Amino acid sequence: MAQLPAVLEERMKKQGYHFVGKHSAVKICEYTANGLRGGTLCYKYSFYGIRSWQCMQATPAIGCDLACKFCWRLIPEEVGLKWNELNAIENWDDPEQIIEGMIKEQRRIVSGFKATADSELRQRRWEEANRPAHVALSLTGEPMFYPKMSALLEGFHRRGISTFLVHNGTLPEAILKLNPLPTQLYISLQAPDEETYNEVVRPKIKGDSWGRFRRSLEILKTLDTRTVLRMTLVKGLNMKNPEGYAALIKTAMPNYVEVKGFSFIGGARSDVRGLSMSSMPNHDEIKAFAKELAALTGYIETAEHMPSRVVLLCRDEESKRNRMIDFSKIK
């Protein structure tokens, strides 16, 4: 990671990040670890059939153009670093090298669970964890800044690995260039209006971030893949104006809307963010907000995952019926 400032590299290593090449990383997810121990699984398992113990949490680009108040990641500017220092990469790593490096590091991470594989279930899951079947490109930063994203997705699919790509919506032109598309494309829906958006996501680059975000929502409804809007609701900040959210959902018309509660963890605990434990909505509050959104949009309340405080809304009966990933069709 020669192009990553040493202070940031050291902090991220302490937080469990495993670096791949110049600008990529993987890190074990709480639910991956739980799955290997035979415990509670991720909401992606409940909603879409993703096996938590076979899932890699990764990114091909560590830098980000937003500084969202609720983000649990370390925001470089909060430790005196500028975003462009992280993204000034002249020669981006080859997609095949990134994929092989991510798989290698994931296997290195899960190797530590072999000693605890003391039951038939744990042994089977540990063996399967060494054959990743899914990658969530959402670990940290904005993965769409990686200019070879299409080749990266194609490489994962060729290996039979499904892809969930999470985008903040500021690069509509990058969405239009994707070929192939990911198995499931997320756009983060963090505010119901422009004023709240600027307060919540704190764009680092001058320009019309809100307009670019709206353009990404318009593109989303045209894509021939599974699409999702993911909301992170924070009490006293963006958990308001359901009518505004409903209008944006109708603009994008995604297959799914994930209505999720903010967690006061990691970087979100920074004093400069102004958040606290009281900023976390409970599951009943999330359910009530999701119910209101369903009434305003016509979306169907379909599933919930209490440990994550998240409710799934489906666009229609077809989306509800087909929400489980068919891994045999990953190619």
CATH code assigned at 173: 3.20.20.70
The mean pLDDT value for 256-285 works out to 94
Question: Is position 321 within any domain?
Answer: no
- 139 DSSP assignment: S
Q: How far apart are the first and last CA of the chain?
A: 31
Two tokens at 266? 């990691």
Question: Is position 311 within any domain?
Answer: no
Q: How many domains does the chain have?
A: 1
At residue 86, the pLDDT reads 60
At 167, phi and psi to the nearest 5?
Answer: -125, 145
Question: Is position 248 within any domain?
Answer: no
Contacts of 67 (CB under 8 A, 6+ apart): 75, 77, 201, 202, 203, 204
Among 143, 194, 192, 145, which Cα is nearest to 164's?
143
SS3 state at 69 = coil
At residue 87, the pLDDT reads 65
Question: Is position 303 within any domain?
Answer: no
Question: Is position 294 within any domain?
Answer: no
> Looking at the chain, which runs of residues are DSSP E strands?
18-20, 24-26, 55-59, 134-137, 162-167, 184-188, 226-233, 256-261, 300-305, 310-314
Residue 85 domain boundaries: 6-228
CA angle 238, 241, 247 (to 5 degrees): 110
The mean pLDDT value for 179-195 works out to 98
At residue 177, the pLDDT reads 98
The mean pLDDT value for 300-309 works out to 97
Cα–Cα distance between 129 and 137 in angstroms, integer?
17
pLDDT (tens digit per residue) in 96-123: 999 999 999 999 999 999 988 889 999 9
Q: Is the pLDDT of residue 85 over 70?
A: no
Question: Is position 215 within any domain?
Answer: yes
Q: Is the dihedral of CA 306, 310, 313, 318 positive or negative?
A: negative
Question: Is position 1 within any domain?
Answer: no
Question: Is position 317 within any domain?
Answer: no
Query: Which range (77-91, 106-120, 243-257) has the least confidence?
Result: 77-91
